[in-house]
Every structure is written in structure tokens, then in C-alpha cells.
Structure 1
Amino acid sequence: MDLPRIFTIRESSHRIHNPITAEKLATVGRALRLRPGARVLDLASGSGEMLCTWARDLGITGTGVDISTVFTARAHSRAVELGVTDRVDFVHDDAAGYVADEPVDVAACLGATWIGGGVPGTVDLLGRSLRPGGLLLIGHPHWRREPPDRATVEACHATDPSDYLPLAGLIEQFGQLGHDVVEMVLADQDSWDRYRAAQWFNLRRWLDENPDDAMAPQVRHALRTAPASYVQHEREYLGWGVFALMAR
């Protein structure tokens, strides 16, 4: 049970595995008005940056769950680095279907709604761990502009234009699922640039250090094609945001 190796190669230097900067992630934490000691569950927690920095800066406690052994190990290391091992813990497990032992104040899934089979299933899954009156936190893509062709759809990691909604449609979907949107922080093109461009540097460094690895041709292809595809398609058409929800 692990992520495919290409993911950990591509994001080997990333602390945040989504198109959101450290500054915006801190903005999300402050916007939620969390009290010290608030309990947070982060499903698909990656390298643990959200929980570790919020524990340091806001005094929250939390548990992160991620399928990647590499990222989970980094999360443990980050907790040690920031001196928050007494406040946060990280579990190597499949986040799909994971429910906290006790209700939490915030249940989050940033950028991995496939764990619930999409937005509706992820809202339902997170809600099983949430105390009454708590907050759901979902990070998810949306169309900035209508994709003009199949090439753009596929470059944005979708199989059909209906896989994502425009921002207004996504907000409406949350309402149809019985939730009020109470906060949001959106990625911008600079956020996307920092996320994607750092991946290209990681790929190149890995190739230089591992030219004879069996994965080298796959990594070389990714590096050769990713920058042009990104600036032609994803940068212009795909948005991403973090949305805080409360059940009605």
C-alpha cells in the first residue's frame, strides 16, 4: 500500500502537495478561528505541513493519514523539526474510509477527493469524523475557464469536462450537499507556478542522480512534456481552492 514512485520523485522537495503556498495555507488556518487544542483530522495528509505548522502557530492537535510511506516519514520528521510531536501524529494508512476514533473539530481533505469517489463521497466521509458544529475543509479543483478541447481536459488530469465544475458550480454543489461555505482561500497562478515548476526541478535533479534507473525514461518523458503542457493548458484553465463548510 503506497503511492506510485513517480509521485514521490516529482514532489521530493515539496512540503505542500497542492497548488497552495505556505502563506495561503497559513491564511486558511487563521481564517478558521481555531482555538488552541482544537482537534484536526487530515486525510491524505502528505508530508504533514498543514498539521505541523498549525500545531506550531495555532496550538491545534491532530492526526494525519496518508497512503505514502515516503510522505508519512517526512511528516514525522517535520513534526520533530517544529517541536510538535506531542500535538500531532501521522498514520500510514489508506485514507479512503478512515474515520476518527473520536469526533474532531475539523475534518480535512485537501486535493484528494478521490478517497471518497469525488466531492459528495468525501463530504460524507469527512462528516463521519466531525463533531456537531465542526468544520469540513476540502481542497478541490475548479474550471477557471471552460476548456476548449479534449487536449486541455486531459492536460488538466480529467477525463471529461464534467469532472470539474466552475467555481460557482462547485459552491452550489456544496450547498446541494447540505453545507454552507463559510470560508475559502483560492490558489492563483503564482501558487500553481510554484507547485508545478518545483516538480520540474525535482525531476531533473533525480535524472541527473539516477540516469540508469529503470524509471529514467518515464521521468525524462515527464520532464520533456510537463512545462509546455502546463503553460498551454493547466495554468490558464484550472483553478484550485480550499473551502470550509458547515452542515446546515
Structure 2
Amino acid sequence: MDLPRSFTIRESSHRIHNPFASEKLAALGQALHMAAGTLVLDLASGSGEMLCTWAHAHGIVGTGVDISTEFTARARARASELGVADQVDFIHGDASGYVADESVDLAACIGATWIGNGVAGTIDLLRRSLRPGGILLIGEPYWRQDPPDQHTAEACHASGKDDFRLLPELIEQFGELGYDVVEMVIADQDSWDRYRAAQWLNIRRWLDRNPDDELAAGLRAELSEEPARYARYQREYLGWGVFALMSR
């Protein structure tokens, strides 16, 4: 049980596996006004940057669950680096079925709603670990503008236009599911640039070290094609944000 090796190569230098700058992650933590001891569950926690930095800055405690062995190891190392290993724990496992033993104050899935087969299913999964009156965090893509055709949608790594919604429609979906949006922090184009361009440098450096690897041809093709495709399509059409929700 692990992520594909190509994914960990692509994101080998990333602490945040989404188009979210560290400043935006910090801003989100500040906006939520979390008291010391706030209990947090982070499903698909990646390299643990959210839990570790919030434990350091705000005194939260919590658990992260992620399918990647490499990212889980990085998360534990990051916790030790920041001196918060006694506040946060990272579990290698399948987040799609994880429910906390103890109800938490904040339950999050940042950029991995595939674990619940979409927004509605992921909210329902997180809700099962949340105390009454607690906060859910959902990180999710949306269309900055309607893609004009199927080709544009696929160039944004969607199977079709219906994979994502426009931002107002995404917010309306949260309401239809019975939740108030009480905070949101939105990635900007610079956030996207930093996230995606770092992937290209990671791939290039890996290719230079591993020219004969079985993945080399595919990653070489990706590096040759993806920067222009990103600039033409994804940078213009695809947005991303983190939304804080409370049940009505």
C-alpha cells in the first residue's frame, strides 16, 4: 500500500503537496483561532506540514494518516525537526476508511477528496470523526472559468468539465450538503507556479541521476510537454482552495 513512485519523484522536494504556499497554510491556521490542545485529524496528511507547523505555532495536537510510506517518514522527521513529536502522530495507512477513536475538534482532508469518492463522501467520512460543533477542512480544485471543451478539461487533469465546479457552485454545494462556509483561503497563480514548477525541477534532477530507470522515458516526456500545457490550460482554468465548514 503506497503511492506510485512517479508521484514521490515528482514531489520529492515538496513539504506541501498542493498549490498552497507556506504563508497561506500559516494564514489558514491563524484564521481558525485554534486554542492550544485543539485535537486535529488530517486524512491524506502527506508530509505532515499542516499538523507539524500548527502544532509548533498554535499548540494543536493530532494525527495524520497517509498511504505513502515516504511521506509518512518525512512527516515524522518534520515533527522531530520542529520539536512537536510528542504532539502529533503519523500513521501509514489507507485514509479512506479511517475514523478516529476519539472525536476531534477539527477534521481535514486537504486536496485528496478521492478518499471519499468526491466532496460529499469525504465530508461524510470526516464527519464521523468530528465532535458536535467542530470544523471540517476540505481542500478542493474548482474551475476559475468554464473550460471551453473536453480537451481543455483533460489538459487540467480532469476527465471532463463535470469533475469540478466553479467557485460559487462549489460553495453552494457545501450548503446543499448542510454546511456553512466559515473561512476559506484560496491559492493564487503564484502558489500554483511554485507547486508545479518545483515538480519540473524535481523530475529533471531525478532524470539526470537515473537516465536508465524504467520510469525515465515517461517522466522525460512529461517534462518536455507539461510546462507549456500547464501555462496554456491549468494556470488559467483551474483554481484551488481550502474551505472551513461547520454543520448547520
Describe the superposition over 1:36-91 as per-residue Cα deviations: whole angstroms up to 9, x where unpaired.
Answer: 00010000000000000000001000100000001001001100111100000000
- What is the CA–CA distance in structure 2 between the aligned matches of 1:156 and 1:125, rounded to whole Å? 27
SS of equivalent residue, structure 1 residue 136: strand
Tell me the equivalent position of 1:213: 213
1:145-156 superposed matches below 5 A: 145-156=145-156
Tell me the equivalent position of 2:180: 180
Structure 1 residue 130: Cα displacement: 0.2
Tell me the equivalent position of 1:199: 199
1:10 is matched by which residue type in structure 2? R
1:50 is matched by which residue type in structure 2? M
Gaps of 5+ in 1: none
Structure 1 residue 32: Cα displacement: 0.7
1:1-248 superposed matches below 5 A: 1-248=1-248
- What is the CA–CA distance in structure 2 between the aligned matches of 1:21 and 1:131, rounded to whole Å? 29
TM superposition outliers: structure 1 runs of 4+ over 3 Å: none
2:183 is matched by which residue type in structure 1? E
Describe the superposition over 1:158-181 as per-residue Cα deviations: whole angstroms up to 9, x where unpaired.
Answer: 111011000000000000000000
- What is the CA–CA distance in structure 2 between the aligned matches of 1:150 and 1:229, rounded to whole Å? 14
- What is the CA–CA distance in structure 2 between the aligned matches of 1:57 and 1:207, rounded to whole Å? 37
Structure 1 residue 5: Cα displacement: 0.5
- What is the CA–CA distance in structure 2 between the aligned matches of 1:217 and 1:178, rounded to whole Å? 47
- What is the CA–CA distance in structure 2 between the aligned matches of 1:73 and 1:243, rounded to whole Å? 27
Number of corresponding residues: 248
- What is the CA–CA distance in structure 1 between the aligned matches of 2:108 and 2:55, rounded to whole Å? 15
1:91 is matched by which residue type in structure 2? I
Structure 1 residue 28: Cα displacement: 0.6
Gaps of 5+ in 2: none
SS of equivalent residue, structure 1 residue 18: coil
- What is the CA–CA distance in structure 1 between the aligned matches of 2:112 and 2:174, rounded to whole Å? 16
- What is the CA–CA distance in structure 2 between the aligned matches of 1:162 and 1:184, rounded to whole Å? 22
Structure 1 residue 221: Cα displacement: 1.1
2:131 is matched by which residue type in structure 1? R
Using the aligned pairs only, state the percent identity.
Answer: 71
Q: Normalising to structure 1: TM-score of the pair?
A: 0.99
1:55 is matched by which residue type in structure 2? A
Structure 1 residue 150: Cα displacement: 1.5
Q: Normalising to structure 2: TM-score of the pair?
A: 0.99
- What is the CA–CA distance in structure 1 between the aligned matches of 2:222 and 2:48, rounded to whole Å? 26
2:155 is matched by which residue type in structure 1? A
Describe the superposition over 1:207-245 as per-residue Cα deviations: whole angstroms up to 9, x where unpaired.
Answer: 001111111111101111110110000000000000000
